[in-house]
Chains A and B, each alone.
Chain A
Amino acid sequence: SYVLTQPPSVSVAPGQTARITCGGNNIGSKSVHWYQQKPGQAPVLVVYDDSDRPSGIPERFSGSNSGNTATLTISRVEAGDEADYYCQVWDSSSDWVFGGGTKLTVL
């Protein structure tokens, strides 16, 4: 089965740029989606199809995907961005696969 690997944690100072990676074998050939989950809340979609943003998601959130790594980039990080972030892919053989999640800490 397909495996997605995320770093357990990423720390960044306010105003800086956070980059959260999601590794998978030839992940660049798949579409990657990203969710933000704050404590006690449901996941919220922040990026879909590698780099598209749902309405209401700030432009500070962006995504890229190439080779074996997809990246969620959060620019001008704010305290309110502190959350767990999950990447996800889908294909007809593995169905939905989630990464293990990355805890973003805003210092």
Chain B
Amino acid sequence: QVQLQESGPGLVKPSQTLSLTCTVSGGSISSGGYYWSWIRQHPGKGLEWIGYIYYSGSTYYNPSLKSRVTISVDTSKNQFSLKLSSVTAADTAVYYCARVMAAAATRWFDPWGQGTLVTVSS
């Protein structure tokens, strides 16, 4: 079955760029049929969708984060990545990657990676 694993620095300084990578195993991103997404969860809070990418490179971002987010894909490594620029303490969160499942007029996330905590602090 498909598994996802996030990786990247756990500490980022304010105003810098947060960079994370999600490695997919058990399935190929380039086989198509799925979108691949990033979601975050602030400490003790709910879930916030960040954006998604298709293997072709087409992307769609949460409008509230769009100006600072870039998601890219590397099909040769079966990975997709997140960059979030100009971070502040408000970006401290657990970041998850997940596969997007779609049916007629609906979408959901399954499975999810284990998540990685990113702390923004000097």
Which residues on A are within 8 Å of B, measured CB to CB? Answer: 30-31, 33, 35, 41-45, 48-49, 54, 86, 88-91, 95-96, 98-101
CB-CB < 8 A to B2: which residues of A?
A: none
| Alpha-carbon gap, A96 to B113, bound state (A) | 18
B90 in contact (CB, < 8 A): no
B106 in contact (CB, < 8 A): yes
Residue pair B110, A48 in contact (C-beta under 8 Å): yes
CB-CB < 8 A to B107: which residues of A?
A: 90, 96
| Alpha-carbon gap, A27 to B109, bound state (A) | 19
How distant is B98 from chain A, measured CB to nearest CB, in Å? 8
- Can you sample 8 A-B contacts with CB below 8 Å? A35-B109, A44-B112, A89-B106, A90-B106, A95-B49, A96-B107, A98-B47, A101-B47
Residue pair B47, A31 in contact (C-beta under 8 Å): no
| Alpha-carbon gap, A96 to B47, bound state (A) | 10
Query: Total number of A-B contacts with CB less than 8 angstroms?
Result: 55
CB under 8 Å from chain A, chain B span 72-106: 96, 101, 103, 105-106
Given A31-B103, A41-B114, A42-B115, answer yes or no on A101-B108 (Cβ-Cβ < 8 Å).
no
| Alpha-carbon gap, A57 to B122, bound state (A) | 43
How distant is B53 from chain A, measured CB to nearest CB, in Å? 14
CB-CB < 8 A to A42: which residues of B?
A: 96, 112-115
The 7 lowest CB-CB distance pairs between A and B, nearest first, are A31-B106, A33-B108, A96-B49, A42-B112, A45-B110, A90-B107, A98-B47
Known contacts A49-B103, A96-B109; 11 additional CB pairs below 8 A are: A41-B114, A42-B113, A43-B109, A45-B111, A86-B46, A90-B107, A91-B105, A91-B106, A98-B47, A100-B46, A101-B47
In the complex, the chain B residue whose C-beta lies closest to that of A97 is B49
